[in-house]
Amino acid sequence: MLGTGPHSREAAMTQRMTDPVYRTILLFDIEQFGRRDNVEQAYLRRMLYDVVDATLLDAGVAETSRLRADRGDSVMELIDTQSSVPALAKALLTETPALLHAKNRLIAESTRMRLRIVLAAGYVAVDELGGWVGRDLNHAVRLLDCDPLRKALKERAEDWVLCASDGIYQGVVSDGPLGVRPEDFHRITVETKEGPTIAWLHGAPSSPTPDTPASDTDSPTGDTPSGLRDTTHVEGDVYGPTGGRNSGGLHYNFDSLRRGERE
């Protein structure tokens, strides 16, 4: 029986971190979320959940094969490796834009939802507090927040932009699976705290600016940047977990949380 005394938290803190397991990492972020009022933010969050859930359903990702973390203006999904990455890439390029168009056409221009999306993969562990940690997750978050991705969405008429990590591009996109055209992606260099890294942006290149590197680096990093010391810590079981038990070493019980899910 789990203790409830003053030493219970101390005992929990001393538990070992789980072994890292390999997962597909999918991130969504709403553009200019902080500029909206509370009513608009709540509405956009419901829209985001609908779009993410429908996209993953279209990709054939079972609820028991995914784990969600809600970060307010963004959603992170860890997806079991048994789920098809080519099918997920296709859904992001076809289903997600269609869903966004269908929802945005019914609301005011000032309220429409525009998304930055990152598809990556790598090793993620769960720490003693139940948060997600790992260099590969940290790398994916860096891509989601990078200037080239923000600039691309700002310049485009479409309401979405997709960035694939170098590992996803080389291992999946470059093979041209059904519904995915590798020639529609272009290589970008992303400057991060840990140094330059390579990623692949869907759509036509943005117009060059002084902030855009003139050429790619000769020493790119992939899904696992070298020399990375700090890691991203994501609480994966606070707001919107999806599924129940993740195979491969990540185990969760969400029954109590499901009873308190928001909206």
Pairing of strands 131-133, 115-126: antiparallel
Is residue 218 assigned to a domain?
yes
Closest CA to 76 of 122, 20, 111, 36: 122
Closest CA to 225 of 205, 199, 204, 248: 199
pTM: 0.75
Cα gap 56→39, rounded to integer Å: 26
For residue 164, pLDDT beyond 80: yes
Cα gap 131→214, rounded to integer Å: 38
Question: pLDDT, tens digit, for every residue of 217-248?
Answer: 333 444 443 333 344 444 443 333 333 333 34
Share of the chain above pLDDT 90, in %: 59
Is residue 254 assigned to a domain?
no
Cα gap 50→108, rounded to integer Å: 18
**Contact call for residues 55 and 95 (beta carbons, < 8 A):** yes
Question: pLDDT, tens digit, for every residue of 104-115?
Answer: 999 888 889 999
**Contact call for residues 44 and 75 (beta carbons, < 8 A):** no
Cα gap 30→114, rounded to integer Å: 6
Mean pLDDT of the chain: 80
CATH number at residue 144: 3.30.70.1230
Is residue 244 assigned to a domain?
no
pLDDT score for 63:
95
Instruction: Spell out the alpha helix ranges (H) of 59-197.
Output: 85-104, 135-144, 147-155, 166-171
Is residue 248 assigned to a domain?
no
pLDDT score for 37:
86
Cα gap 183→176, rounded to integer Å: 9
For residue 116, pLDDT beyond 90: yes
pLDDT band at 192 (very low <50, low <70, confident <90, very high): confident
Residues forming a β-bridge with 126:
132
Is residue 138 assigned to a domain?
yes
Is residue 26 assigned to a domain?
yes
Question: pLDDT, tens digit, for every residue of 132-158?
Answer: 899 999 999 999 999 999 999 999 999
Lookup: tokens for 104: 């945005």
Is residue 258 assigned to a domain?
no
210 C-beta neighbours (distance < 10 Å), count? 5
For residue 30, pLDDT beyond 50: yes
The number of folded domains in the chain is 1
Pairing of strands 195-202, 185-192: antiparallel
Lookup: tokens for 91: 């859904």
pLDDT score for 98:
98
Lookup: tokens for 219: 């020493």
Which range of residues forms the domain containing residue 28? 17-238
* Mean of pLDDT values over 181-189: 98
Is residue 126 assigned to a domain?
yes
**Contact call for residues 173 and 229 (beta carbons, < 8 A):** no
pLDDT score for 240:
36
Cα gap 157→64, rounded to integer Å: 35
